[in-house]
């Protein structure tokens, strides 16, 4: 419950301070830079060093990669069909192609399935979501960012990718696994990483008042409608992003992993069905805060990125509740191949 209160407070503080004009208008850029350069690398360090690598962890860790792949195909298809900018497509991939599997995922899964389900959540988050953001997500974002700057070369793209602080932190964390690190140092790094979520939520709340013109006929819209084509009045990428992340994506993951686990005969163990349900619930979490902030920081449809989080988080409370009802109370539907 405290996590949910923190979400509301951080959003509220960000919006109030923006409204009262206490901070400079572009203060969120400084906050986002700190998050990307300091908070996110520190958050990655401990979890990636200690993530368990046994049992069925690869199945759980694969879910965010699969979801991101579905999202890339989905948004690329509609991006070409509806003439979206590349920056809009990549923004949707970074935000709605990944889920908020930790800050929202942990308290929600704990509420629905108790603390016994948290190891599964941590594997999905640490080895799935963050690795997906750090590798294919960072590559797509860096590529789109450089496409906005025609003077940049392909070599500078790779230079940017391999000097990106979260990517460096990923490599350092994995390389340091065999070596001992003083507990005091690791604890200090972890405490710095704890600043990510409150700062990210504050930044989203601070930017929310400026997210009105996302897809409209306004001259400064991020992805404006063409005046000559009125056949697609609802061509707003925000709608496509939320529908995919909260409804279509979880259904695709459900079918994909349900089929795979059924035919691979890995559905064994007393906790298998519970873990399968947790995997589906995690795929239905709201758009990823960190991915959205990366898109905003890189100039990839920043208003869209912020709106996906600001609107998606409240909506996800309702959609995950509905999904939980299906998983628990409609056995033949909720478990697909594992029904009674």
pLDDT tens per residue, range 192-224: 988 877 887 788 778 776 555 555 555 455 655
For residues 314 and 321, the answer to whether their CB atoms sit within 8 Å is no
Assigned domain for 340 exists:
no
pLDDT at 231: 41
Assigned domain for 127 exists:
yes
Return the percentage of the chain with pLDDT > 70, whole number.
80
pLDDT in tens, 239-272: 999 999 999 999 999 988 888 877 776 555 557 7
pLDDT at 75: 96
Assigned domain for 174 exists:
yes
Confidence grade of residue 54 (pLDDT, cut at 50, 70, 90) = low
pLDDT exceeds 50 at position 333: no
pLDDT in tens, 131-167: 898 889 988 988 888 777 654 445 565 666 677 787 7
Closest CA to 41 of 128, 140, 163, 144: 163
Assigned domain for 215 exists:
no
Q: State if pTM tops 0.85.
A: no
Assigned domain for 273 exists:
yes
Phi, psi of 192 (to 5 degrees): -65, -40
pLDDT exceeds 70 at position 179: yes
In total, how many domains does the chain have?
A: 1
Domain CATH number, residue 114: 1.20.1530
Q: Which residues contact 174 (CB under 8 A, 6 or more apart)?
A: 48
Assigned domain for 46 exists:
yes
Return the percentage of the chain with pLDDT > 90, whole number.
19
Q: How far is CA 46 from CA 42, 116, 291, in A?
A: 8, 21, 20
Assigned domain for 54 exists:
yes
pLDDT at 263: 74
Phi, psi of 99 (to 5 degrees): -110, 160
pLDDT in tens, 87-130: 999 999 999 999 988 777 877 887 788 777 777 887 788 778 88
Closest CA to 46 of 200, 170, 163: 170
- Domain, as residue range, for 100: 29-208+227-330
Assigned domain for 13 exists:
no
pLDDT at 160: 66
Report which of residues 73 and 329 the model is more confident about: 73
190 vs 198: CA distance, rounded Å = 14
């Amino acid at each position: 419950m405290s996590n949910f209160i923190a979400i509301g407070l951080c959003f509220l503080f960000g919006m109030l301070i923006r409204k009262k004009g206490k901070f400079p208008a572009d203060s969120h850029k400084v906050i986002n830079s700190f998050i990307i350069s300091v908070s996110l690398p520190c958050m990655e360090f401990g979890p990636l060093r200690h993530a368990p690598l046994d049992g069925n962890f690869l199945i759980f860790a694969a879910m965010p990669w699969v979801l991101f792949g579905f999202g890339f195909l989905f948004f690329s298809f509609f991006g070409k069909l509806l003439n979206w900018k590349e920056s809009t497509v990549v923004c949707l991939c970074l935000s709605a192609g990944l889920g908020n599997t930790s800050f929202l995922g942990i308290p929600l899964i704990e509420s629905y399935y108790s603390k016994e389900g948290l190891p599964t959540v941590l594997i999905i988050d640490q080895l799935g979501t963050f690795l997906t953001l750090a590798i294919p997500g960072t590559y797509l974002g860096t590529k789109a960012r450089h496409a906005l700057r025609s003077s940049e070369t392909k070599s500078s793209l790779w230079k940017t990718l391999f000097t990106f602080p979260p990517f460096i932190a990923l490599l350092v964390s994995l390389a340091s696994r065999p070596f001992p690190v003083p507990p005091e140092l690791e604890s200090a790094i972890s405490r710095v990483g704890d600043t990510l979520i409150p700062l990210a939520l504050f930044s989203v709340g601070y930017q929310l008042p400026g997210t009105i013109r996302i897809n409209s006929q306004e001259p400064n819209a991020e992805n404006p409608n063409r005046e000559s084509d009125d056949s697609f009045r609802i061509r707003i990428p925000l709608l496509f992003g939320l529908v995919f992340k909260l409804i279509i994506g979880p259904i695709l993951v459900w079918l994909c992993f349900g089929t795979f686990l059924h035919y691979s005969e890995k559905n064994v163990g007393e906790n298998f069905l519970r873990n399968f349900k947790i995997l589906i619930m995690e795929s239905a979490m709201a758009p990823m805060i960190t991915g959205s902030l990366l898109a905003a920081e890189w100039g990839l449809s920043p208003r869209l990125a912020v709106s996906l989080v600001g609107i998606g988080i409240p909506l996800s409370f309702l959609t995950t509740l509905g999904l939980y009802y299906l998983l628990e109370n409609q056995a033949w539907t909720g478990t697909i191949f594992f029904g009674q």
